[in-house]
Structure 1
Amino acid sequence: MDIFSIFSLCGGLAFFLYGMNTMSNSLEKMAGGRLERTLKQMTSNPLKSLLLGAGITIAIQSSSAMTVMLVGLVNSGVMELGQTIGVIMGSNIGTTLTAWILSLTGIQSENVLVEMLKPENFSPLIALAGVILLMSSKKQRHRDIGRIMLGFAVLMYGMDLMKNAVSPLADMPEFAGILTAFRNPLVGVLVGAVFTGIIQSSAASVGILQALALTGSISYGMAIPIIMGQNIGTCVTALLSSIGVNRNARRVAAVHISFNVIGTVVCLALFYIAHGIFQFQFVDAPIDAVGVAFCHTVFNVATTAMLLPFARQLEKLATVLVRSESGTDTVAFLDPLLIRTPAVAVAECGNLAIQMGELARDNVLMAIDQLSDYQSARDSTITENEDKLDIYEDRLGGYLVEASRKGISAADGRSASKLLHSIGDFERIGDHSLNIMEAGRELHEKQLSFSDEANAELKVLTDALIEILNLTVRAFETSDCAMASTVEPLEEVIDQLIEEIRMRHINRLQRGKCTIQLGFVLNDLLTNYERISDHCSNLAICVLETEQTGLNPHAYLHDVKTGEEFTTNVQSYLTKYKLPELPAAH
C-alpha cells in the first residue's frame, strides 16, 4: 500500500460522506413537514416511539440528523424528554440498513442477475437516471429524487474507492502487526468511538470497517468491539448539538450517550463472559461485509430490547447527569438547530403562525368587549398580547427566511411564502385591536355612549366581524380552501355594512341625534373593522394560493366577484347580517 492508496482512501471517504449527506438532505426535503407532524404525534408508548424512530431514520438515512432534530424540538418546547427516548432507540435500529446495503459489495457470483445486486454494478445506472431527472425535469420533487439517486451513486463509488484502497493491506505484514492491538476489546471500542466521533458518521465508519473486512484480515473478535465503539462515537453529533440549549435539550444528548455506553458495556461484558464459558469458534474466524452488517444489527437490536423497558430510568439518569440550573429555564422560541432540517423548521413555523392567528383573533374579541364592558386589567392583557404578536412577526419572519435559504421542497416553499405573508396580516390585526381598545378607553374615560340605534347597528357589524375572524383562523389552521372561499363574500358584506352605517351616522348628525365627538370614535371603529376584514381577505387568499399552485390573487378576486356562487353567498350574508330598520321620520 503506497501513498496513492492513502489518497484513494481519503477520497473514497470524502465521496462516501458527501453522497450520504446529499441523499439524507434530499430525503428530508421530500419528507417535508410530515417528519415534524409524525414526531409530534409521539405518545408515552415507547414501542410506538421506537417504530417511528426506526422508520424515520430509514427514510432520511441519518441517525445523526434524527438526534439533532430531537434536540431542537425539545429545546423549542415541542416535545418532552420522555417522548424522545424510544425515538433515539429506534434510530439506532434504523441506521443499520445502510450497513446491509453496503454489504452487497461482497457478493461474488458468475450469475449476471446476482452480480447486478452489487451496488458498484447498478449504481452507475442509478447515477445516470439521477442526472437525467435533474437535467430534464421541471418538477422539484423529481429533481429531489434525482439528487437522492446521485447521492446514493456517489456514496457507493466512495465505498468502492475505499475497498480498492485498502485491498493491498491484506498482503502487508506491518498491517497484520497493527491488527494485533485490536485483539484487546477495549482498544477496539476506543478506536471505533474515536474514529466515528471524528467523521461524525457511524454509517461511514461501518463502511470503512466493511471495506477492511473484505481483505480477510479482520476477525469477528476484532470487529465486534469496534462496532460497539462506533455506536458511542456517533453520540458526538448529539453532544455538539446540545451546546447552548436548555437543560431538557441537553438531556436528550445525555439519554443518547447513556443508552449507547450502557449497551456497549453490558453487551461487551456478556459476550466475553459467554466466550470464556463456551469458547466461541467464530471469534477468530475472518469477518466479511455481511458479517459486519449482521453484528451491527444484532448489537443495536439487543441493546434496544435490553434497555427499552428501562426508558423511565434512562430519563431519570439524564436528569441526574444534567442537573437543574438555578432559576427557571428559558425555552427558545424557535431553536436554530431545527434549521438543519428545514422542512421541520417550516412546519414548526406553521404551528407558531397558527398560535399567532389565534392570539390576534382573541385580542380583537377582548378589545371589542372593552367597548361595552371596559376593564383596565383587560387593557393590560391586550397590550401584552400585542407585544407578543410583534415578537412572533419579527422572529418568525427571520426564521422562515433562514430556513428557506437551506433548500426546501416546492410544497414547503409555498408554505413558507404563505407564512411570510400571513404573519404580517396577523400582526396588523393585532394593531387594530389596540385601536379598538383605545376607542373603548375613550368612551369609558369621557363617559360617552352611542345611541341605541348606533349600538344596534354596531352589534350586527361586530357579529359579522367575529364570524369572518373565526372563519379565517379556522381556514388557516386546517388549510381548508372551501372555508377560505367563504371569507371574501363576507368581507364584501362587511364593507357594505360599514358604508351604510356611515351614511346612517351622517343622517343622525343632521337630525341632532349624535355628536361630532362620538362621530370621531365611531369612524375610528368602522375604519379598524374594515381593515381587519381586509386582512382576513388577504389571509384567505394566502390559504388558497398555498393549496392551489399558480393562483393569481388579483385574477382570483376579479373572477370570484363575477361568479354566481359569490353573489349567492353575499346575499346569504346580507340576509344574516341585516341592519335594523331606520326609525320612521317625524
Structure 2
Amino acid sequence: MELLTAIDLAGSVALLLWGVHMVQTGVRRTFGPRLNVFLERMLRGRLQAFATGLGVTAVLQSSTATGLMITNMAARAHIALSASLAVMLGANVGTTLIVQVLAFDVTAVAPALILAGVVLFRKSRGAVRDSGRVFIGLGLLLLALRQFIDVLEPYAHRPELQNVLGVVGAHPLAAVLLAAGVTWMSHSSVATVMLVASFASRGAIMPATAFALVLGANIGTSINPVLESDATDAATRRLPLGNLLLRAAAAALVLPFLRPLADWVSGWEGTPQRSVADFHTMFNLALAVVALPFIDRYARLLEKMFPDPPQQATLTPGTPLYLDRSMLDNAPQIAVANATREALRLCDLLVDIMGALRESLMTADAQPALSIRRDAASMGQLGTAIRSYLVALDPEAATQDELTRAEDIRAFCTQLIHASDIAERNLLTEAQKLARQRIRLAQDLLTPVTKMIDRIHVNIDSCATILLGGDDAIARRLAAQKDVFREIEMDATNAYFERLRQTQQAAGARSDAAPSAHDPGEAQLDLLRDLKRVNSHIVAAAAYPRLAEQGALLPSRVQPPLADEGKVEVKTILEGKES
C-alpha cells in the first residue's frame, strides 16, 4: 500500500511538472521572440522589473522558468544584475498570487480548461493553437495539485506523520528544512504551500508550524535554479544564488517571530487555509518592499562575492562560451541564439586561418601557417560542441521555426568545418612545401591567390550576416562569388599554359623545357583550386540554404538538353573504343 502511495505521489509530481511545462511552451510558442523583446524593454527600472517578473510568473506559472530566462539575459549582459534581482522579487510575489487563487479551490474548472485547450489545439492554427497548450497545461496543473493533496490528506492524522509534525512543531528550524527538502524534490513551492494549507485546515499542524513550513517552501524553490546553473560561470550563478541568499536571510529574520505573526494573521483571517496563503504573500511582498531600495548595492555585493574568473591560459578558441544547457528545455529560443553566437566564432577562426595563410605565402615563412592546424582543430572542437548542443534541443519545447533554425545552424557549422579541413590538409601542406624550398611566388602568381583570400574574407563576413538574418540580396551576391572564383582560376590556368608554351618555344626541343617537379605555377594552381573549394563551402553554408528557401536555387548547373547531349557524346566515345 505504501508503494502505491509513493507511486501516486510521484505521478502527481510528474503531472504537475508536465502541466507547468505545457504552460511554458504554450506561452513561448504563442508570443515567440516578442516575449524576450518585451522583457528587455521592460527591465529598465526597478519597479518596472518587479512588475514584469510578477506578471510573467503569473502567466508562466513558475518563478523557476522566469528565473532561467532572466539568468541567461543577465549572463549575456542584456540586463543589469540589479534589474534581474528585481524581476525575481516580482516573480516570488507572482508565485504567491497563484497560491491565492488556488486557495479558493478552483479545481472544478480543470476539466473545462483541458476541454477548451484541446478544442483550440485541434481546431486552430498558429498562435491560437499554441494557446491551447496553455489551457491544457493549466488544467493538468490544477488536477495534479488536487491529486497531490488528496493522496497525502489521509495521512494527516496517521501516528507516524503526527510524530514527524510534532517534532517540526517543536523545532521551527526543522520545519523549515523539511519543507525546503520537499519543495526541492517536488520542484514546486505551490504544491508544498497548498499541502501545508490543507494540513492546517484539518488541524494537523498549528499556524506557527504552517508558517515555518511556508518559509521552507520559499527557500526550497530557490535551490533548483542554483543547482541547474553552470558552476563554472559566475555570471549565471549570481542571480540564483542572490535570490536564494535573499530568501534565506529573510526567513532567518522572520523565524523568531512566527508565533506572534501566526496569532496576528489568524486573528483577522477566517480560515487556516487562507492564513497560510496570506502569510505566503505577505512574506514575499515584505521582502520585495525592504529589498528593492537596496537592490543596486546588493547586486554590487554579489559581483564582489562571485567575481568573473580571470581568463585561463588553458582556455582554447575551441572552448564553447555560450552553450548553456539549461536553456535547451526551458528557453529553446535562447538556446538557438547561443548556438548562433558560437557559430559566429567559427567564422572568426576561419578568418584567422585565411590570414595566416596569406602571411605565410607573402613571406615564404612556414611559421605563420602553423596556426592553421591549431585553428582548424579549434573549429572542429567548437563545431562538434555546437552540433551536439543543438541535437539535445527539446522538440516539445521548441517551435518548428526554432527547430528549422537549429538545423540550419548545424548545416552551417558542418560546411565551415569542411572548409577548415581543406585549409589544414591542403593549403597548409602547400604553404609549408613552398616555405621549405624557399620558394616565394612571383607577384603575377601571387596576385590571384591573395585576391581569392581577400574575397574569402569578405565572403565570410557575408556568410555571418546571412546567418544573423541578412536579406536575400546578400545571399545572391555571395552565391555569385563562385563564378568570380571560377574565372580567377580559369584565367590563372590559361596564363600558366601560355607561359609553358612560350617556355617550350623558346627552349626548342631541349629536354629541360619540361616544368620542374616544384614548379611555382603548379603550386599556384593547387592553391587556387583549394581556395575555390573553401569558398564553395562558405557559399553552401549560408547562401544556398537561403536561396533554396526562396526557390531561387537550380538543382543543377547543367541544363537538361546539354546533359542529354553529354550522354550521347560519352556513348559515342565508348562505342568508338569498343570498335
Q: TM-score, normalised by structure 2?
A: 0.74
Q: CA deviation at 1:414?
A: 0.9
1:113-132 equivalences in 2 (<5 Å): 119-132=106-119
Shift of 1:446: 2.8
Cα RMSD of the aligned pairs, angstroms, is 4.8
Contact 2:103–2:277 under 8 Å retained in 1: no
Q: Do residues 159 (structure 1) and 161 (structure 2) align?
A: no
Compared with structure 1, are the counterparts of its residues 455 and 64 closer, same or farther at alpha carbon in structure 2 (3 Å cutoff)? Answer: same
Residues 6 and 165 in structure 1, CA contact (< 8 A), matched pair in contact too: no
Unmatched 5+ residue regions in structure 1?
A: 108-117, 546-550, 563-586
User: CA deviation digits over 1:441-496, x for unaligned, max 9?
Assistant: 44444333444444444455444433323222222234443322321123223223
Q: Which residue of 2 aligns with 1:148?
A: 134
Letter in 2 for 1:558: L
Secondary structure of the residue that 1:556 maps to in structure 2? coil
Counterpart of 1:524 in structure 2 is 526
Task: Say which of 101, 107, 129 aligns to 1:104.
Answer: 101
Q: Structure 1 counterpart of 2:554, which letter? A: H
Local SS of the residue matching 1:557 = coil
Distance 1:321 1:456 in 2: 53
Secondary structure of the structure 1 residue equivalent to 2:398: coil
Match of 1:490 among 474, 477, 481: 481
Alpha-carbon distance in 2 for matches of 1:460, 1:332: 32
Find 2:264's aligned residue among 261, 280, 287. 280
Out of 277, 282, 287, which is 1:303 matched to?
287
Residues 97 and 527 of structure 1, relative CA distance in 2, 3 Å threshold = same
SS in 1 for 2:419: helix
Distance 1:123 1:508 in 2: 85
Which amino acid letter does the alignment assign opposite residue 250 of structure 2?
A: G
* Paired residue total: 537
Name the CA distance, whole Å, in 1 between partners of 2:446 and 2:284.
71
Q: What residue number does 1:204 align with? A: 191
Alignment of 1:453-464 (within 5 A): 453-458=444-449, 460-464=451-455
Task: Trace 1:507-522 onto structure 2 (pairs within 5 A).
Answer: 507-512=498-503, 517-522=519-524
- Could you give the per-residue CA deviations for residues 114-165 of structure 1, whole angstroms, max 9, x where no partner exists? xxxx7434432321232234445676x6654333321111111233445667
- CA shift, 1:188, in A, is 4.6
2:169–2:175 Cα contact (<8 Å) kept: yes
Find the aligned partners of 2:284 and 2:476 in 1 and give their Cα distance: 52
Task: Please report how far the alpha carbon of residue 533 of structure 1 lies from its aligned counterpart in structure 2 after TM superposition.
Answer: 2.1
Question: Residues of 2 paired with 1:406 and 1:16: CA distance?
Answer: 16
Q: Which residue of 2 aligns with 1:379?
A: 369
Per the alignment, residue 402 of structure 2 pairs with: 412
- Structure 2 segments unaligned to the other structure (5+ residues): 505-513, 559-579
CA distance in 1: counterparts of 2:537 and 2:103, whole angstroms: 63
- TM-score w.r.t. the length of structure 1 is 0.74
Q: Offset of 1:52 from its aligned partner?
A: 6.0
Q: How far did residue 64 of structure 1 move?
A: 3.0
Identical aligned residues as a percent: 20
Q: CA deviation at 1:392?
A: 1.0
Q: Does 1:425 align with 2:412?
A: no
2:46/2:86 contact within 8 Å kept: no
- For residues 85 and 166 of structure 1, what CA distance do their matches in structure 2 show? 40
Matches within 5 A, 1:429-448: 429-434=419-424, 435-448=426-439
Q: Which residue identity is paired with 2:264?
A: F
Name the SS for the 1:408 alignment partner: coil
Greater length-normalized contact order (CA 8 Å, ≥ 6 residues apart): 1
**1:502 aligned to 2:493?**
yes
Q: Which residue, out of 461, 475, 478, partners 1:470?
A: 461
Equivalent AA in structure 2 for residue 20 of structure 1? V
Q: Determine the C-alpha separation between the residues in 1 that align with 2:527 and 2:489.
A: 10
**What does residue 330 of structure 2 align with?**
341
Q: Which moved more, 1:19-28 or 1:527-536?
A: 19-28
Q: Tell me the amino acid that sits aligned with residue 234 of structure 1.
A: T
- 1:433 & 1:284 partners in 2: Cα distance? 77
Residues in 2 aligned to 1:176 and 1:372: alpha-carbon distance in whole angstroms: 84
Q: Distance in 2 between matches of 1:512 and 1:474?
A: 46
Give the aligned residue type for 2:489: I
